[in-house]
Structure 1
Amino acid sequence: YTEEPPELAAILAELRDPDHGSRGMAALHHAAGKVLNDTRRYKEAIDHFKKGNQAAGHKFDLESYRRWVDATIETFTPELVASRAVYGNPSEVPVFIVGMPRSGTTLTEQICASHPDVHGAGELSKLRRIASGIGIGNRFDANISESLATITGDLAGALAEEHLAYLRERAPDALRIVDKMPHNFELIGLIGILFPNARIIHCRRDAIDNCVSCFVLQFNEAHGYSADLETLGLYYREYDRLMRHWDKVFPGRIFENRYETLIENQEEQSRRLIDYLGLPWDDACLRFFDRDGSVNTYSRWQVRQPIYKSSVKRWKNYESEIQPLIDALGDLAEV
């Protein structure tokens, strides 16, 4: 039996106060869940995480999202992307790190950005703004084929140039500039048109671990899919379906970076990453946690530490409480 942390009593007392709005209740439940998780009281912890997500009340229209994924797969065929790739900018500067949130994107960026020729720009919203400007940025609007038809060679060239200038402002001399906005996995077709030589690193993690890691965080409305275990599992299947499509459209071009491989073989996998970027190896990439770079995500504390293995198969702590997630993931759940 571990001693009751003093902050837990304070949080639980606050939860009995009816004057906290739904946001306040959500934050308190998540705080209680974190303290209970840290003291290994997992059943109570997940109960608070569930209540926190319910209090936040985030909703997600999974059916509309599914239709959007269908439309994206139908529209961005290998033929279409190949015919449009001549429109883009041949620069090798842009690097996109994509994947589900909590899949190792921050860690991957930190390793790459420790290289003297690489600048880690963090999570940039620019690509989504460009996509929205040409009518393909709304992940609930399946009418993307008409919008895509309007992209002429001149427009694609101008958009790529604008995006490159935006990156260059951040690091005029860097050979590679990394954008680690995870949900750019939805826009890989656009990346392929604008930047046919861009590097795309796809961070993948054990599906159950990845989803549990999302569920226990207090995300905002944009991540509404993560507020319910079943919805989260079904959303993950859509993400996986779309990534499998991009691998067919861009065979051999997307580097899949498995979180567990990176944890197990840090140097070997880091060397592969830097090699994929087309750069010579630098030992600084092994000491990524010494960097002072800006990290403005939930992983802020973790990337200041050397690599730790405690997050692998962490979901087992919650196994009895997360069956709806495991069922929804289906064959993607490595039980």
Structure 2
Amino acid sequence: MLLLDRATELLLENRLREAEFMFKQVLKQNPTNGKALFGLGRICMRLEQYDNAIYYLKRACEHLPKMLDPLYALADAFIAVGSPVDAKTVLEYALSVARHNAQIHYHLGQFYLDHGFIDNAYQVFKKGLECPESGVSVFMIFELLQLASSSEIPDLMARLERFDGKFEHPKFQIVTYHAFATAHQALGDNKEAFEYYKKANELQLTQCEFRTADMLPFYNRLLATCDEDFFSKPTDKVKSTFTPVFIVGLPRTGSTLLEQILTQHSQVGTIGESIVLSDKIVPYLEMRTERPFPDCIYEPSTSMLDYCRSVYVDEIKKSRVQEEAVINKLPANFQNIGLIYRIFPNARIIHLTRDFMANAWSVYSNHFAENEPYFCSLPEFKLYSEIEQQVMFHFSSHLKRNVFNVSYEKLIDDPERTIQKILNFIYLKYEPECMEFYKSRSKVSTLSKTQVRQPIHNRSLNRWQAFEKEIEKELTQPE
């Protein structure tokens, strides 16, 4: 038992190789030890060895029949290898053995939402509210308020009031405030809705460990590094088997919608909002050059760039993507365009823009799990927007052939023609199936997961106008 406890401690400390050795020692003594099998499965998940993870987690589930965590992990492993049907089977089995557990209802409901089974999600969340109340009940009410009819909202609000101020951790109160705001807005009570949005965002801002202004030195250094000399240096001649496509811009500018439309094309795949550049490639370059980012991208050697390309290709292989054009839709990659250009000189960069007021309101009125200031403050978002514009103007002026600017409004107003132009930009011919994106059951885990299951509409274009005075007042408030 001491060996198992120590292995678990090492896993929590992220000392994976040592933890793996100890878990295997436990299994030598007892090959059916479920906790050791679960530990090895978790290690494989962190190392992105998903097939091995499935092997260990299946065995862990057999020997830990009353534990839900191994089942959750097994479902995640199946999703990672592109087997959502198997993940669905696992989660539905978990529900069958724990029908009075609110957590599994929420977990399965989120799976249904991610894969476009909106009605199933609605029913599971409703059933989940019949379970003994817990913190996750707040999150289920929040989801239901976005799915329910107006006649159901008063009852959901009454349930929500029981949780107001009940939990100590701020994240529960933030979600509670957002849920009240969503309810009031759905009922047409915009004044009350804004007050709750304001409470939610002000509370979340207190949880942020930095301010947008703190990022200015980094962006100034980025622009100084990627100067005229940077772009005048010869690039490697790269023969790639795929076209790297990056969708960049501010949050809530339509990247999920565009990704869903494009991936209906027979030759377009996606690795989603992959952080491979910042989490794997940048640390490697910093280590090899002994210089911080962005200085490390100024003049890397050919061998370094070859390694970076292999890391990116490995990420694509892990995602089981084999199409001709491969999307990475992480909006914040606008700050990595210089790096992208160094690694893939012919990369296609699609820059999404949106009317500022509509964009600002869409960010402010949605709950982002990450505690970042531009997600929960209109003045902070304005500064972030100005930074993004400056950075994109800089890179677009140097890479005119690599960057294609698309406005969210144009995508909504004239989707077919806009998509034709984008596909032409990434060297592909238009396919009419792209316009049937809302029928897809591919995974979507962003805030737009329910919106992209509907045909294109323009309801969101002017939604901000009902709050125009309040938005302007917030934007002029001193920080």
Provide TM-score, normalisation by structure 1.
0.88
Q: Whole-Å Cα distance in 1 between the matches of residues 232 and 445 of structure 2? A: 36
Cα pair distance change 1:273/1:146, threshold 3 Å: closer
Cα deviation 1:235-290 (Å, max 9, x = unaligned): 11111111111111211321112110011011111111111111111110111111
Contact 1:98 1:185 survives alignment (8 Å): yes
Rg larger in structure: 2
C-alpha deviations, 1:56-97, integer Å up to 9, x for none?
323332232111111111111243134152276655421111
**Aligned counterpart for 1:109 among listed residues 238, 259, 263:** 259
After the TM superposition, which residues 254-333 of structure 1 pair with which residues of structure 2 at under 5 Å, given as runs?
254-324=403-473, 326-327=475-476
- What whole-Å deviation, never above 9, does each CA across 1:3-45 have from its counterpart, x for those lacking one? 7722123323422x44443111111001111111122212211
- In structure 1, list runs of 5 or more residues that go unmatched: 137-141, 329-335
Distance (whole Å) between structure 1 residues aligned to residue 327 and residue 217 of structure 2: 30
Instruction: Using the TM superposition, give the Cα deviation of residue 192 of structure 1 relative to its aligned residue in structure 2, in angstroms.
Output: 0.6
Letter in structure 2 aligned against 1:26:
I
After superposition, what is the alpha-carbon deviation per residue over 1:158-210, rounded to whole angstroms, capped at 9, x for unaligned? 11122123213434531011111111111111111100111111111111111
Q: Which runs of 4+ in 1 moved over 4 A?
A: 87-92, 324-328
Look up the match of 1:131.
282
Task: Give 3-state SS (helix, strand or coil) of 2:351's partner.
Answer: strand
Identical-pair percentage: 26
1:53 equivalent to 2:201? Answer yes
The equivalent of 2:192 in structure 1 is: 44
1:25 corresponds to which residue? 173
Query: Is the contact made by 1:185 and 1:243 (CA closer than 8 Å) also made in structure 2?
Result: yes
Provide, for residues 206-239 of structure 1, a one-character-per-residue CA deviation record: whole Å limited to 9, x for no partner. Answer: 1111111111222133533222221111111111
TM-score (norm 2): 0.63
Q: Distance in 1 between matches of 2:243 and 2:401?
A: 19
Q: Secondary structure at the match of 1:303?
A: helix
Counterpart for residue 68 of structure 1? 218
CA pair 82-325 structure 1, distance change in 2 beyond 3 A = farther
Distance 1:144 1:120 in 2: 26
Q: Which residue of 2 aligns with 1:332?
A: none
When residues 290 and 192 of structure 1 are mapped into structure 2, their CA distance, relative to the original with a 3 A threshold, is: same
> Matches of 1:174 and 1:306 in 2, distance apart?
25
Whichever residue aligns with residue 200 of structure 1, its letter is I
- Is residue 269–residue 323 contact of structure 2 (8 Å, CA) maintained in 1? yes
Deviates more, 1:23-32 or 1:83-92: 83-92
The alignment of Structure 1 onto Structure 2 pairs a total of residues equal to 321
Task: Measure, in 2, the Cα distance between the counterparts of 1:147 and 1:164.
Answer: 21
Between 1 and 2, higher relative CO (CA 8 Å, sep ≥ 6) is seen in 1
Give the distance between the partners of 2:294 and 2:324, measured in 1 at CA: 34
- In the superposition, relative to structure 1, how do residues 87 and 43 fare at CA in structure 2: closer, same or farther (>3 Å)? farther
1:238 aligned residue: 387
SS in 1 for 2:236: helix
Residue of 321, 327, 330 corresponding to 1:181: 330
Q: Which amino acid aligns with 1:105?
A: S
